[in-house]
Structure 1
Amino acid sequence: MDINIACSNKFLEDFDVDTVVGPTSLWMGGIHDATGARYIKFAGRELEPDKQFQFQEADYMKADDYDDFIENPTKWILTTYLPRQHKEFEDPYRAHLSLIKGAAGMAMNQGMLEEAGKRWAKEYGFPMSQTGMTKAPFDTMGDTLRGLTGIMMDMHMQPDKLLAAMDVLVDHNIYYGMATAGGDTTLPLFMPLHRGSYPFLNPEQWDKFYWPTLKKVIEGLWEKGKRTLFYAEGNWTPYLEKIAELPDKSIVFHVDTTDMKKAKEILGGRFCISGNVPNTMLAYGTPEEVRDYCKKLIDEVAGDGGFLMDAAGVVQWDAKEENIRAMIETTREYGVY
């Protein structure tokens, strides 16, 4: 973590950004080793040294687990889910020890991140751009419980149980968002939306399985004063009218491949909009292409405010330094209105 924070410090010293999300995305090997996590591969161990970590998806929740999960999610997670997902939880005695070690490691990690955030604000003048995170209930089910194959089958084979399980997750996901934010209501909460884009789900599936519980979570957070960074990965163009139903100012709508003009037309004035500089361009394009794209964005969507220049997705290791600089410099120089 010390090296991770040092790298982030170096970035802040070298690049003229105006806010910071946090240290580079790094999942701590020691914490996962303490619990025997099965769901992740690390660079320099299972992967080549210069690769990013890889998430190993599996159906740790089986098709016949729904009744137990719905009846008592906490009991099911402790007695069934964690032993399947973590080797150290298979033995009850070792499970207690690994839980203590993992919790202590997470607490230490979080403490270091908080101290780093204070330092960035004090020494570099960079405020954090967000606090906390949570998910759409569909993504909670599909990412880490049933997995992609499982949740696709469940929509057809046992839709009522899937819907009931997602309803159970609504209050949990609201609580988790506020807890990870430390109760802060000043900054937005990060919500990566993994599987709600088109055509990952067709409109009928989206209306039935994805949107109702996602809307409840966002509205529940907003009732507590917490705005959501609606990180719309992929194309959400067909769903913009539905998203416009959310309370004014309750989200920041982040654009990946959604039609930016339509997003501005339908959501602009009600929600701040961010993103849309393609990651492929940042990785494989030229500085001139990046500059032209950023100017186009500013001309089309930023004239009356309410726009945050950002990459379309989380910037990866293959982004070129000169392209990142081109995005920042063009925004500074051209984005005056």
Structure 2
Amino acid sequence: MIQLKQERNQLFTDIYDGLKPKRIPIRIQVTHEAAIQYCKMDLKHTQWDKTAYFSFMDKVSAQLETDLTPVSMNVRTPAYYQILESEAFVMSSSGVLQHPEVKSMEAKEYDEFIEDPYSFILTKALPRVYKGFGGDPVRKSLNLAKAMAAYEDYKKAQLVAMSKINEKYGYAHLPIGGVTEAPYDFLADVLRSFTEISKDIRRCPDKIAEACDAVLPYLQRCAVSPMSSNYNRTMIPVHMPPFMNTKQFEKYFWPSFKQLVQFIYERGSNCWLLLQGDMVRYIDYINELPGNPEVRHEYGDMKEVLERTNKKHIISGLYPVTMLETSSEKECMDYARKTVEILGQNGNYIFNFDKPILSLDENSMQNLRAVIATVRKYGEY
């Protein structure tokens, strides 16, 4: 297993160093919910049982010959959000944590936020959508302490289970160096909501630009950590550009986002960008980003993405995860071979689906194994 782990690590270090790897690396993300579902365990109960992590991760990992641990970390700990009485992340009747559209800042409060983002978030934004932060200071402090203790307990349990899985199956080990957001996305996600910021960009666009600049230093702090490197990269989900026209993107999204990526690069790290929605029209902008970020596309024509992408940058995604449930095994394999033959031409491709795997049963697991086997067979250089 030590040799296998080294070989798999080498695939990623080569491609991150700008070298053509021995074969196309395989990275997928089976969510906790999908893994628990596949193991026929009760989703509501299992998410609260720290002793169950290894069990469902092991059963799924045993069947998937990927290069990184296939079951992803669960960053949304239900206990954390329940203790804080969250309205931003709430448990659905099915047991899946949902993110309803909420706002924690009014349009008239932009100036107050711009003056001191940190103070505004602590004193106004958080208490509005996390009711556990309301009330007297003692109650707020206790709730925060309990929530953080729960978060760390569950995180530790996951990390221990994942470490055991890595050693058992010889997966490569490339931890996330940091997680952050583009300033514009942060405003939409945490403060104004998708709907409200789409109104704001027409009625007070200059305030948005100022707010993006004001919050940028705080998002830079989240972006890098002591273990950040060219291999331990910063994950940035990018989701608002598809809802903007190109002029709006150029003026209000791009400047602060580019500064954020430049900041990460100047500190010796790189990015893993998750482009949510169809962002092919922005490829020329992404090509301007420094370093060689890994760019996962959800949508787009594979040939166009390949032809237009900066050859230093790393392409990922574009295989529709829905095919695992809606297509035959042969159709899944044929599409996997097509994906490899098109996107793997230049040696700067990491196989991944367009989205995380949110559902997994026996049929989709069979198709998933077939896809992975096809990528391994035809992905050698």
Whether these two folds match at TM > 0.5 is yes
Structure 1: any 5+ residue segments left out of the alignment? none
Residues 59-110 of structure 1, C-alpha deviation per residue, up to 9 Å, x if partnerless? 1111122122111112111111111011121102311111111122222233
* Structure 1 position 311, deviation (Å): 0.6
User: Matched residues in 2 for 1:265 and 1:162: separation?
Assistant: 34
What residue in structure 2 maps to residue 71 of structure 1?
115
Q: Secondary structure of 1:183's match?
A: coil
What is the correspondence of 1:127-146 to structure 2 with a 5 Å cutoff? 127-131=172-176, 132-146=178-192
Name the structure, 1 or 2, with higher relative contact order (CA <8 Å, separation 6+): 2
* Structure 1 position 116, deviation (Å): 3.1
What residue in structure 2 maps to residue 85 of structure 1?
129
What residue in structure 2 maps to residue 166 of structure 1?
212
Q: Secondary structure of 1:126's match?
A: coil
User: Matched residues in 1 for 2:308 and 2:228: separation?
Assistant: 29
User: Matched residues in 1 for 2:308 and 2:175: separation?
Assistant: 24
Give the counterpart letter for 1:133 in structure 2: V
Give the TM-score taking structure 2 as reference length. 0.81
What residue in structure 2 maps to residue 176 of structure 1?
222
Q: Secondary structure of 2:62's match?
A: helix
What is the correspondence of 1:143-222 to structure 2 with a 5 Å cutoff? 143-179=189-225, 182-185=226-229, 186-197=231-242, 200-222=243-265
2:143 corresponds to 1:101: no
User: Matched residues in 2 for 1:31 and 1:5: separation?
Assistant: 21
What residue in structure 2 maps to residue 263 of structure 1?
305
Give the TM-score taking structure 1 as reference length. 0.91
What is the correspondence of 1:38-57 to structure 2 with a 5 Å cutoff? 38-42=87-91, 46-49=92-95, 52-57=96-101
What residue in structure 2 maps to residue 35 of structure 1?
84
User: Matched residues in 1 for 2:164 and 2:366: separation?
Assistant: 27
2:367 corresponds to 1:323: yes
User: Matched residues in 2 for 1:147 and 1:295: separation?
Assistant: 40
Residues 5 and 23 in structure 1, CA contact (< 8 A), matched pair in contact too: no
Among residues 282, 290, 299, which one is paired with 1:247 in the alignment? 290
User: Matched residues in 2 for 1:219 and 1:227: separation?
Assistant: 9
2:268 corresponds to 1:225: yes
Percent identity among equivalent residues? Answer: 26
CA RMSD of aligned residues (A): 1.9
Residues 252 and 274 in structure 1, CA contact (< 8 A), matched pair in contact too: yes
Tell me the number of residue pairs that the alignment of Structure 1 and Structure 2 aligns.
327
* Structure 1 position 139, deviation (Å): 1.0
2:345 corresponds to 1:295: no
What residue in structure 2 maps to residue 273 of structure 1?
315
Give the counterpart letter for 1:172 in structure 2: Y
User: Matched residues in 2 for 1:139 and 1:160: separation?
Assistant: 16
